[in-house]
Each structure stands twice: as structure tokens, then as C-alpha cells.
Structure 1
Amino acid sequence: MSDSGDMQNPEFEASRKRLDVQVGALVKSENVIYRIEQIIDFESVVGTAVETGRSRPLRILELQPVGDNGAAGKHDSHSDLAEIGDSDWKVAETRFAAIQPLIVAFSPGRREVELRAKEVGVDTATLYRWLQKYKGMKTVAALIPQKSGWTQGRGRIPIQAEAVVADVIKKYYLTPQRPTATKTVEEVLRQCQLRGVEPPHPTTIRSRIADVSEKERLRGRGFKEKAKNKFLPVPGHFPNADFPLAVIQIDHTPVDIILVDDTYRKPINRPWISLAMDINSRMITGYYLSFDPPSETSVAMCVAHSILPKDDWLLLHKVDATWPVWGVPKKIYVDNGADFRSDNFQQSCTMYGINLEFRPVKTPPLRGPH
């Protein structure tokens, strides 16, 4: 029980459970469990009742997550990213990369999990456990190693061994000969022996191999054309922006106005606006206005405004209109500015399952459907 100075009422305590609004996800409305069949717009979906099979439109604001998506074990999914050590975060990212192809499936079969486990070099039961943890919390933080605490810089292999692993991956694994992960591990161990370096554990080597991006893997192993077709967007059309919040694009620009002070009406400056736009609907999902030039803070404020409901904002600014846009996007598409490349922003996107994609250098912004 809280002390007398704590005015919080558990009955009205804000819930931080995440509602997964996507086709195939399970949600609850009026104590009935539905599977989402279609996303109509930012306010409504079509759901099919699991028990009866009947379909009906559902208002997103009235939906609730199924089950308890709260913290699992000792790790809170909303813990400060600064508390997570670099090595622990790297492990979580590696585990997420291993289960990512299975996440999109509603219920992957045993065969799919076994094949993926063999591909990434882990036990099938381990992969099942990672998948269960992630689906329970809907955040990469669930995959942080279960230890007494998160400490910075723990678990790194010696720099000499790291250099050997990187060299073998670049000159041996990423070649048109396409050696297997097992052969690559053997080559790392052989090179370490030749150079008099203490070899890392084979699991560590496999983790480094798993860190190689699909694009880099395809290009290095003789599939340049396939990598080009898969990862080079067609100019004028944004791929996979097939539904609201599939992709939002964020950019900054100085506003074409000069603001003046309240007293003397003297010019102050032109403000900057950070704008987030949904590619599919071409609707503005959020913004941040400031005299400060673009920074990590302006990006974070813009994303927060984009994700949160706008009802309180409309009341605060006395806007008599609706702005039915809120929710976590699947992908955020940005340029190569330093404000977007900060470790904290990238880790925050990874934490909440947002795919952060950078626009290729010297290419124009892509457009959504007309």
C-alpha cells in the first residue's frame, strides 16, 4: 500500500501493456477474443471471434491486449536503455535476428523452428524459449541475458580475437564460395592458432556471423543482383507501405515563417519542424517544433508525438477536429543525419520492434502511393 502522500490510485494507473494491432494478432474487446483480419484505418479493424468465427468491425481504442504482456522475470521491458550493457544488448540483438523470421508467423511449426535453429546454430529448445520470451513482452529487452544485472562492457572477447573473427568473415565467409557457418568457425579457430591468439568460443563466432546483415551477406556471397533487387527501392514508389503505419518517414526542415517576441514584436528566428508522415495514407502522424536545430531530442519528441493518441493534444490547443493517428510503426525511414544515427535512437527502435531504415546516400526521398 502506498503512503498517504502518494495520490496514485491503482484502479486508474496507466497500463504500459502494448497492443499489437496487425493482421493475425489476437486482441480482446468486451471480454471476447478476436483475431485481426483486416486493418481498415487508424481507428478501426475487422476482427473474427476465435470461439464463434463471426467477424465484426472493432474500434482500436476499445481493444485490449490478450494475456499479460508485463515484465517477465527480472527485466522490465521499459527499463532505461542506458542500464543495458553493450555486450548484453549485442546478445539480445543476435537472438532477435535469430527469431525474426519466425515472429511474423502466427504459430510457426516445429519444422520451421528446427530449420531456423539449424541455420543459426542453436538448439531448437533455445530458439523456442527466445521466441516465447519475445512474444510475451513484444520487446527485444526480453532477450537480454538473465543475469544479476546489466553492466556496461561485460563479456567482450579480446580485441585480437575480435580482429581475427572480423577478418575471416570478410575474407572467407563473405565470398562467392559460400562456406558454411561451421566451416567459418573452423577457419577462425585455425587462424587463431596460427597467430597465437586465444580463440573465442564457437557460439561467439556464430553470433558474429549472425550479425552480418542480409544485404551484406547476399552481396559478399555472390548474389549482388539479388541484393540489388531486394534492397534497392524502385524510384517513386515505397515498397511494402501497404497499410497505415507500415512505414513512416521523418525529416526536418526550417519553417517558412519568422517568429517575433510577444513584447516588442522583434524577429526571433525561423523555427525548425521535425515531421513524421505515414507513407501509405500520406497523413502526418506527429511533429516537433523548436528553435533548436535537428537533434536526437527533436527526433525522440517527434516519434513520441507520432505514437501517442492526439486527443489530449487537441484539447490543449483547442483544436475542434479529429486526428485519429497513433500507434507504433513497423518501419521508420530516415536520411543519414547524425540525429537519426545515435545509438540511443537505434536501440530504442530495436527495443520496440521498429525497423529503422536509412535512405541510400545521394538518392531522393521515396514516395508513397498516390
Structure 2
Amino acid sequence: MDADPVRIVARGELTMSDAAWEQARSRASVIGALASRGSTGTAAADRAALELGVSRRRVYVLLDRYRQGSGLVTDLAVRRSTGGKGGNRLPEPVEDIIRDLIRKRFLTRQRWSVAALHREIARTCAVRGLKAPTRNTVSRRIAMLNPVEVGRRREGADAVRPLQSAGGDVPVIGSILEQVQIDHTVIDVVIVDERERRSIGRPYLTVAIDVYSRTLIGMVVTLEPPSAVSVGLCLAHASGDKRPWLERLGVEVDWPMSGKPKSLYLDNAAEFKSEALRRGCEQHGIRLAYRPQGQPHYGGIVERVIGTTMRQIHELPGTTFSNPAERGRYDSEKMAALTLPELEKWLVLAVASYHGSVHGALGQTPGGKWAAGVAATGMPAVTANQTSFLVDFLPVIRRTLSRTGFVIDHVHYFANALKPWIGRRDRLGRFIIRRDPRDISRVWVLEPEGHHYVEIPYRSISNPSISLWEHRQALTRLRARGAAQVDEAVLFRMIEQMRQVSETAVKTTKRVRRETERRKHAKDPSRLGTRTSKVPPPDAPTDVDPGEVSVQPFEQIEEW
């Protein structure tokens, strides 16, 4: 009985073609090495998958077959098939051509596109008298590869660092929203104000990228320097239904990518380390992870995914290009033409175009990858009230309650909702208060029971809505004038004078124009920040000042 398996194996060996035997021998070399190690982790399996040109699942199938067999080369030979359902599987010589050219042309620093690779495969098949596979078939073969190894071969080790844990193993991202990366940049274009159409400088962009599908799930364009609030706004935009926002923008595109992330992978910038962000994520069950200190700029998915659009921005009027040498004698300030809303609309259209374009690392469109993820896990739940969500990520202040309400930086806040607490305020201690720096005309106060945030407006409802930067600028001017005491009335008179200067000036300065646009942009009703009475609470975080942070320009970018 022992001879039969040997004879069967021998017959199989004799009837195998040279190409099939070479493939089986190559498989045995790689799979045999894995089998000798005992357990096989995902990182080792992915490296083997890339070397053999198969999926990780296929590696485990071959490993199991090798261990259950006799440890011979023929245990790993390609088994004949009728083609399965439809009988449309490719002949092995065609598969060999695909694998070989993916390795020699696609997985290189030259970074061939899928279209160029398919043309070369079709040409090689024609020379050998074989029927060429379709481009979709080639894309599916690429999609089966481990994206980390693909990125390493095509772009280098630094490009895939965000996808690796500190131990070097590859964390498998198997579903949409499993990992989202957020980062900021200053956009390479000068914009103009809506009143005089004169330059006001460069805006900032905060984006959230779903690593699994490479889709953009959140975007915020602002004149405010990146801060903890920028992160909260981007998360709120990512988690909510974008259709009402797109309608207000007047842009007819489909942007279905929404939902609350399961985890965030972030840089070590100050706004990503704020207590407000950490507590907000804890409240919503979002895990936080950071790039290890001392590594090169983590770049990864989020900084490269907007690559081609940043290059397209260099074609817009008012572009600053990537550096002075590239800009040459081009006068960005003089040529600027787009307002902030116009730039935002342009970016939305660029995102829609990106979602519908084949992604080199995925082998399919990001939109298609997202749709496949939705089909596998179901449609993610979206946040019904984006303002409520945003409040959990706003900076926190702690204040005691007086008979007349709360006083925060010389500004009084009061509402009837505070009356039940005033009589027992001595026992309640300091309250947790959230404040939006873009509009400090109201704050959100956490109830003593800790169940809800209650919105509390100015005590004097005649005071205009102002931003925190206007408030601080007014205080600075008052102190420069030697004001011994600052009260609410004096503060708002100074702010009114500042606004009159900017509104009546015949020829305003660039700084004043920018400040006017910042105020207008923050009050735009199409943005987050509509009033709400009660908001579910988070745990109580410490006070956070968003402040200004440095931003990185888009460099070393990946094609859309």
C-alpha cells in the first residue's frame, strides 16, 4: 500500500510541464521554509504571498497541503480545474505571465500603472499566441497582494511605516473604518476674499482617509491654523451624512463614504495629543494610535492620497507651487482668483474624481473598494447630529457657577437652565464647559449629573457672535492702550471698532481681509455649529488650548 502514493506522485511528476514543475519547486522552497518554523504569522504569510504572487489565504492553503502531504514538490503543484463556475479561469501560462510582469514591472520603483502593466501583459500574450486577460482580471490579481509589500516595493519602507506596528508585523486592515488616518496641510494656492476679490493667503486642509479603501471620509477647509477643533470638525464631517452639506455647496456629486472610525492613526502633533481628542475618542469608542517617536515623517496613506490633486492645484490661478524654485517669477498673489467656497467646491469635485479612478495599490477604484467593504460589513451608521458629536471634541474649560451664571474671559453666560443649580452651587464645585473657538457666543455646560451638555448663551443677547481670536486680539489692544480693567462692555466696544475698520476701509490690508473671511467662514450656516440644546457628555477632560501648529506641505505623493 505504501507504494501506491509514490507511484501516483511519480506519474504526476512525469506528466507535469517544465513550467508547472518550476512553479511547484518555487512554491516548495518558500512554503517549506514557512513549515519549518512552526506557527506562521500574517507578516510572514504576506511576504510569502508576494514572493509567490498569490493571496495570503492561498499561502495558508498551500502550507496546510504541504504539512499534510509528504513534503514533496508535487504536493504544491497546480491542480487541474475545469474552471469552476463559468469555466473562465485563466490558463496557467497566462497566470505565469501575469505573475512575472507584476513582479518585474509593477512592483518596482518605476511604479507602472495598471493600464501600462495590462498593455505589456497583452503584448507578451500575443507574442506567445495566448489570449490576453482583461484589465479587470489583472486588477484583481494586484488586489490580492498585500498592500504593505506593494507599497514597500513601489515607494520604499518609509511609505508603509504607518501600516506597521512597532514590532514590524503588518496589522491587517480588513474592513472599512477599521483604521482612519488624519492630517493637515497648507494648500498650495492663494485665495481671495469675497468682497474685494483680493488675496488673503493660503488656506488649510484637514483630511481623514480610510486605510482599507483609500477613500476620503472627511475634509475640512479653513483659514484657521490646524488645532484640536480642526480634528473634531473633520471627525464630525467624516461621521455624518454628507448629502445635506453637498446640497448647500451646490455640488452634484456622490460622496457616500461616512461613518465613525474604529481607530485613528495620527502624527505626534500637539492637536493630536490633546486631552479633548483623547476623551472624545474614548466617549465614542474610537481607538487612538500614534507613529513611534523618532521615525521619519510618517506620511503613509494620508499624506500621499491627495497627491495628484495637489499637483492639479498647481494648475489653478494663484498657485504657490511646491517651492520657490518651481514658482519662479509667477506672482501668486496677483494671479489669485478663487474664493474659499470656490476652492472647497473644486476640492469636492477632485475627491469625487479620485474615488472613481483606479488606485495603483488597490488595483481598483477607492469607491469600488468602499462599496465592497459595505457589502461585506453593512452600511456604517452615521452620526445624526454632527454638532453633538463635535462638542465632545471641543476644548474644555472649568468654572464655578455664580448667581449671575458663568464668567469666562470677561464674558458672562446665563440661561434659565442654570437656575436649579445656583442654589446648590457651593456643593457642585467647578463645572465642565466646552467652548468652540470659532464662535464663543455660547458654551456647553455639563449637567451636575453628567448626563447632558446644556447650551448656555451670552447673558447679554445683544452682543455679537465673535471668535476666540477676535476676543484675544481685542484684549491685546486694550492692554496695549493701558486699560487698567477690562469688563465685558469695554471688550465688545473694542471688537465693534475693529470690525468697523475692516468693513469701512476703502483699501483693506491682507490681514484685515483674511480676518473678515475667517469670521464669515466660521458663521457660514452650511457648516457645523448649528445650535442644539442638549448633547450627550464625555468624561471630563482637562482644559485645552488649540493653538497654532506647524503643518507639512504635500510631498512624496502617490498618484490618484
Tell me whether the two structures share a fold, i.e. TM-score over 0.5.
no
Q: Normalized per residue, which structure has more helix?
A: 2
What TM-score, normalized to structure 2? 0.24
Q: Which is bigger in relative contact order (C-alpha 8 A, separation at least 6)?
A: 2
What TM-score, normalized to structure 1? 0.36
